[in-house]
Amino acid sequence: MKATVNIGLLGLGNVGTGVLNILTHNADLLCRRTGKKLMVRKILVKDLSKQRGLKMPGIHLTDRADDILDDADIHIVVEAMGGEFPAYDYIKKALKNKKFVVTANKEVVSKHKKEFFELAKKNKVDIYFEASVGGGIPLIRSLKVGYAANKIQTLYGILNGTSNYILTQIEEKQEEFDDALNDAKKMGFAEADPTMDISGLDTAYKLTILAAVAFKMDITVNDLSYEGIQDISLKDIVYAKELGYRIKLLAIAHLLDKEEINFRIHPTMILLDHPLAAVRNELNAVFLVGDAVGESMLSGKGAGASPTGSAIVSDIIDIAFDTKIGRFYDTQGKAHVSIEGVDDPLYINKRNLEDELHQPSLVNICDIYSQFYLRLAISDSPGALARITTVFGENEVSISKILQKNTVGLDAEVVVITYHTKEEYLRKSVQVLTTLSVVKHVYSVIHVGF
């Protein structure tokens, strides 16, 4: 007889259904791979009376979370609800009750990871969150083990499928931001309220999780600067392409000298032949440079029921792999004999737990050097350009290129590409530029990277 792993699922929306489908559809395969039956026993739903048309023999639906969290026979709690509350409380209770937790919830992991990790360690269980960043891409576990021989020097991520879809559509359909956003909503790649995605906040949550895994650093979204894609226009994307670049919303972690590090999120113009430039539509990717492995990239679908479900089930598999060695405990702290377990007080799962997160020495984005693209409207008059270049010069910003684009009435549209300069200097220049009478408008300021 095969041992079983009993799963309690919190939430049966898009993600929960995805998990259930994979566990049902690939049950035989998963049993062969893990040597165990992975069984969903209970599901927390909001409305018990709702008709769901799901094939779920032997699964108990409940609208009380404690039916799952207090059930000594549930080994793994899968949190598939999203949002900070009540997910936070449920995860805490599950860990306290010595259940392994799997979650796809970037917000709750980002905000409470340290507490979760400590609670898991104390209770000799784990919290897994592969699905919280990069959907189905095996990113978290690659950073935890696959790349773990390396000091990661740089990490660039396209981590928000909605933003990447919109940017791709603007370029490919030559449409404006609002139209692309509407397309994304119609295609199911953007929510009715897309603020969290397009503002960069979603990406910021994810970068804090990668900071914990790749750099063992404990940061929150308040420790990094983030900027979204709201102000990117078709024109910028067209001009970028003329200059040999494509605009992507990048999460960036860059290790500097003396163990200082900078985390930031902003639209970035990247060279067209860079592998990240080829990551289209809703796909996500992480490109990293390790001191041993060199450049490496992982890509795939960053969202959706199936890819997210794939990541969640991979976490369940990871937990199931270890059940023979006594890693399941009931609420009294005794090992479940049904899982062939033995109580092992020495067990600390260094494989997964980030139990030694430290506070990094953060460098503010203002002190980072980048190239910049600026698009301005200036008065089409003699001397206007000289005024502008003087402002840059006075603020220690060197200019690589100035391109006069269109002339509309008395205004000229000008694109400026700077050399590497401190962000602080660039910001100061822009501040001064906006006060000049010859500058009608600063439309956009975009980072230019590799």
**What residues act catalytically?**
206
Listed in sequence order, the residues at least 6 apart from 154 whose beta carbon sits closer than 8 Å to its beta carbon are: 252, 253, 254, 255, 288, 289
Given 67, 70, 179, 340, the residue binding a copy of itself (CB under 8 A)? 340
Q: Which is nearer to a copy of itself, 134 or 228 (CB)?
A: 134
Burial 46-85 (b: 16+ CB within 10 A, else e): eeeeeeeeeeeeebebeeebebbbebeebbbbbbbbbeee
Number of Cβ within 10 Å of residue 376's Cβ equals 24
In terms of CB distance, is 261 or 317 closer to a copy of itself? Answer: 317
Residue whose C-alpha is closest to residue 367's, from 437, 426, 289, 424: 424
Q: How far apart are CA 189 and CA 186, in angstroms?
A: 8
**Which tokens hold the place of 430?**
């822009």
Give the binding range for a copy of itself (CB under 8 A) out of 172-180, 330-338, 345-353, 430-438: 345-353
Cβ count within 10 A of residue 32:
9
Of the candidate residues 162, 306, 370, 395, the single one contacting a copy of itself (CB under 8 A): 306
Identify which range of 22-30, 100-108, 368-376, 431-439 contacts a copy of itself by CB under 8 A.
22-30
Part of the chain binding a copy of itself (CB under 8 A), chosen from 242-250, 284-292, 414-422, 430-438: 284-292
CB of 370 closer than 8 Å to CB of 447: yes
If the CB atoms of residues 17 and 199 are measured against a copy of itself, the closer one turns out to be: 17
Which of 13, 27, 29, 231 forms a contact with a copy of itself (CB under 8 A)? 29
CB of 67 to a copy of itself, least distance (A): 26
Determine if 322 is a binding residue for a copy of itself (CB under 8 A). yes
Q: Does 103 bind a copy of itself (CB under 8 A)?
A: no
30 touching a copy of itself, by CB under 8 A? yes
The window from 78-86, 202-210, 237-245, 307-315 that contacts a copy of itself (CB under 8 A) reads 307-315
- Cβ at position 239, least distance to a copy of itself in Å: 22
Using CA atoms, how far residue 172 sits from 167, 190, 194, 231, 281, in Å, is: 9, 18, 21, 18, 10
In 264-407, alpha helices (H): 305-321, 384-394
Residue with tokens 């600067």: 225
- Near a copy of itself by CB under 8 A: residue from 256, 325, 337, 366: 325
Tokens 């494989």 belong to residue: 351
Task: Give min distance, CB of 300 to a copy of itself, in A.
Answer: 3
Does residue 168 touch a copy of itself according to CB under 8 A? Answer: no
Which of 171, 322 has the CB closer to a copy of itself? Answer: 322
Q: Which of 356, 382, 409, 435 binds a copy of itself (CB under 8 A)?
A: 356
Q: Which amino acid is at 339?
A: I
199 to 238: interface string for a copy of itself, x by CB under 8 A: -----------------x----------------------
- The site map against a copy of itself for 35-64 (x = CB under 8 A) is x-----------------------------
Nearer to a copy of itself, 142 or 268 (CB): 142
Q: Which residue has the tokens 């033995």?
A: 342
- Contacts of residue 249, Cβ cutoff 8 Å, sequence gap at least 6: 158, 160, 163, 164, 167, 200, 203, 228, 229, 265, 266, 267, 268
Quick check: 348 and 356 in contact, CB under 8 A? no
User: Measured from the CB of residue 132, what is the shortest distance to a copy of itself in angstroms?
Assistant: 14
Among positions 124-143, residues that touch a copy of itself (CB under 8 A) are: 130, 136-138, 141-142
Interface positions, 371-430, toward a copy of itself (CB under 8 A)? none
Nearer to a copy of itself, 179 or 343 (CB): 343
Cβ closer to a copy of itself: 170 or 214? Answer: 214
Beta bridge partners of 290: 152, 294
Specify the pairing of strand 36-44 against strand 439-448.
unpaired
Q: Hey, what are 180's tokens?
A: 């692309």
Q: What is the DSSP string of 401-438?
A: EEEEEEEETTEEEEEEEE-SEEHHHHHHHHHHHTT-TT
Q: Which residues bind a copy of itself (CB under 8 A)?
A: 18, 22, 25-26, 29-30, 32-35, 130, 136-138, 141-142, 145-151, 216, 273, 275, 278, 290-301, 304, 306-307, 309-314, 316-318, 321-322, 324-326, 340, 342, 344, 346-351, 356
